[in-house]
Chains A and B, each alone.
Chain A
Amino acid sequence: MSAGAAHGAGGVARAASALFAADLRRELRTGEALVPMLMFAMIVLVVAGVTFNLPEMGPDDRRRLAPGILWTAIAFAMLVGQARALLVDRDEERWQGLLLSPLDRTALFAVKWLEGLLLGLAVELLLVPLTVVFFDLPPGLHWGQLALALLLGTGGLAALGTLLGSLTTSLGRGEAMLSILVLPVASPILIAGSMTTAKLLAGGTLADASPWPAVLLATLGLNLALGALLFESVLVE
Chain B
Amino acid sequence: MSERTSSALGRPAAIACGALFLAGALLLLWGAMLYAPTEKVMGDVQRIFYFHVPSAANAMLGFVLAGVAGLAYLATRRSGWDEIGRAAVETGTLWATIVLVTGPIWARSAWGTWWTWEPRLTTSLITWLIFLGAMLVRKVSHNAEQSARLASVIAIVGVLNLPVVYLSVHWWRGNHPMIFKRGAEGALAPEMWTAFVAGMIGVTLMHVALLYAAWRTAQLEDAVSARERLAEHEENGR
Nearest-neighbour CB distance to chain B for A138, whole angstroms, equals 24
Are B157 and A195 interface neighbours, CB within 8 A? no
Check A233/B149 contact, CB under 8 A, given A211-B171, A215-B167.
Answer: yes
Asked whether A191 is an interface residue with its Cβ less than 8 Å from the other chain, the reply is yes
Are B154 and A188 interface neighbours, CB within 8 A? no
Are B142 and A171 interface neighbours, CB within 8 A? yes
Please tell me which one of the listed residues A184, A211, A218, A233 contacts residue B129 in the complex, with CB atoms under 8 A apart. A184
Docked pose: A192 CA to B161 CA in angstroms:
14
Check A163/B168 contact, CB under 8 A, given A170-B146, A184-B129, A185-B158.
Answer: no
Which A residues are closer than 8 A to B by beta carbons? 160, 163-164, 167, 170-173, 177, 180-181, 183-185, 187-188, 191-192, 195, 211-212, 215, 218-219, 222-223, 226, 230, 233-234, 236
Are A180 and B133 interface neighbours, CB within 8 A? yes
Are A230 and B169 interface neighbours, CB within 8 A? no
Residues 129-172 of B contacting A (Cβ, < 8 Å): 129-130, 132-133, 136-137, 140-142, 146, 149-150, 152-154, 156-158, 160-161, 164-165, 167-169, 171-172
Ranked 6 nearest A-B pairs via Cβ: A188-B168, A184-B129, A184-B130, A188-B164, A181-B133, A191-B168
Check A222/B153 contact, CB under 8 A, given A171-B142, A184-B133.
Answer: no
Secondary structure dominating the interface of B: helix
Please tell me which one of the listed residues B157, B171, B172 contacts residue A185 in the complex, with CB atoms under 8 A apart. B157
Between A and B, 5 residue pairs with Cβ closer than 8 Å are A177-B136, A185-B157, A185-B161, A187-B168, A188-B161
Check A164/B168 contact, CB under 8 A, given A173-B140, A180-B133, A233-B149.
Answer: no
Asked whether B23 is an interface residue with its Cβ less than 8 Å from the other chain, the reply is no
Asked whether B126 is an interface residue with its Cβ less than 8 Å from the other chain, the reply is yes
Asked whether B74 is an interface residue with its Cβ less than 8 Å from the other chain, the reply is yes
| B122 closest partner in A (C-beta) | A187
Nearest-neighbour CB distance to chain A for B93, whole angstroms, equals 13
Are B168 and A181 interface neighbours, CB within 8 A? no
Are A167 and B137 interface neighbours, CB within 8 A? yes
Nearest-neighbour CB distance to chain A for B165, whole angstroms, equals 6
Are A233 and B152 interface neighbours, CB within 8 A? yes
Across the interface, which residues of B come within 8 angstroms of A177, CB to CB? Answer: 136, 140
| A237 closest partner in B (C-beta) | B146
Are B168 and A171 interface neighbours, CB within 8 A? no
Are B129 and A167 interface neighbours, CB within 8 A? no
Are B153 and A233 interface neighbours, CB within 8 A? yes
Extra 9 A-B pairs, beta carbons < 8 Å, given A184-B126, A191-B169 = A163-B153, A180-B129, A181-B137, A185-B165, A188-B161, A188-B168, A222-B161, A226-B160, A233-B150
Docked pose: A234 CA to B152 CA in angstroms:
10
Docked pose: A184 CA to B124 CA in angstroms:
11
Are B140 and A163 interface neighbours, CB within 8 A? no
Docked pose: A170 CA to B140 CA in angstroms:
11
Docked pose: A115 CA to B141 CA in angstroms:
27
Across the interface, which residues of A come within 8 angstroms of B133, CB to CB? Answer: 180-181, 184
Docked pose: A24 CA to B122 CA in angstroms:
40
Across the interface, which residues of A come within 8 angstroms of B171, CB to CB? Answer: 211-212, 215
Across the interface, which residues of B come within 8 angstroms of A164, CB to CB? Answer: 154, 157
